[in-house]
């Protein structure tokens, strides 16, 4: 979720904390699981009740576990394909909880079937965006494309909009349009990204087939 400079900064800041957890016998996988559980709880407890500010704060705090677990694995020299698989899989779970929580809000107190549908579309399209890359790579293609709205953009746009919208509970006016706009942006951007990746895999597949035919 962070550009390389911000990630480098937070890595330095969190390294002592990661080292402390290792001394206490905590494993990187445990941190991954706790981070996901916290993100899911923040999304499904606060968002369906319209408490977007506190939900966003909770999710953001636990999202930093994504930096801590990797830092721990590097310090302990235990980086593995299993750890990468677990991290990626649980990322999908956290993403689903965030958009699922927003869908629950709009299907209930938020009183908007249209925005409920958009939130569900964001949930589904986000999973498809990830699947297209994973499936393409499993077939041996690099899937060399920077999509318009990938996971980092989906979460940043949605969580910033949700957090700022939540300031309305503290009396800040005229914020009710922000979260719906963000959901539409994420929905359209995710759809574009799916097509970008599909077209990229199609091109890479044709190039591979042509190279094999010449061989």
Of 178, 176, 173, 146, the residue nearest 161 (C-alpha): 178
- Torsion sign across C-alpha atoms 132, 126, 149, 191: positive
Catalytic residues: 91
Q: H/E element holding 80?
A: none
Buried b (16+ CB within 10 A) or exposed e, 84-119: eebbeebbbebbbbbbbbbbbbbbeebeeeebbebb
Number of residues assigned to the chain: 215
- Please say whether the beta carbons of 152 and 184 come within 8 A: no
What is the token pair recorded at 148? 């318009």
Cα distance between residue 100 and residue 130, in whole Å = 17
Cα distance between residue 173 and residue 38, in whole Å = 29
């Amino acid at each position: 979720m962070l550009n390389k400079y911000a990630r480098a900064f937070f890595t330095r800041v969190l390294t002592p904390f990661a080292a402390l957890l290792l001394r206490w016998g905590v494993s990187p996988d445990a941190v991954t699981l706790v981070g996901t559980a916290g993100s899911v709880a923040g999304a499904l407890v606060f968002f369906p009740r319209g408490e977007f500010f506190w939900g966003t704060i909770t999710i953001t705090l636990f999202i930093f576990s994504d930096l801590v677990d990797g830092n721990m694995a590097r310090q302990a020299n235990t980086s593995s394909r299993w750890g990468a698989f677990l991290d990626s899989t649980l990322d999908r779970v956290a993403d689903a909880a965030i958009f699922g929580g927003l869908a629950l809000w709009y299907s209930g107190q938020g009183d908007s079937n249209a925005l409920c549908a958009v939130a569900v579309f964001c949930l589904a399209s986000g999973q498809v965006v990830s699947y297209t890359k994973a499936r393409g790579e499993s077939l041996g293609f690099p899937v060399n494309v920077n999509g318009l709205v990938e996971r980092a953009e989906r979460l940043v746009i949605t969580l910033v909009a949700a957090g700022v919208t939540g300031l309305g509970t503290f009396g800040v006016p005229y914020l009710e349009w922000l979260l719906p706009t963000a959901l539409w942006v994420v929905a359209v951007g995710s759809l574009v990204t799916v097509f970008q990746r599909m077209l990229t895999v199609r091109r890479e597949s044709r190039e591979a087939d042509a190279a094999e035919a010449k061989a």
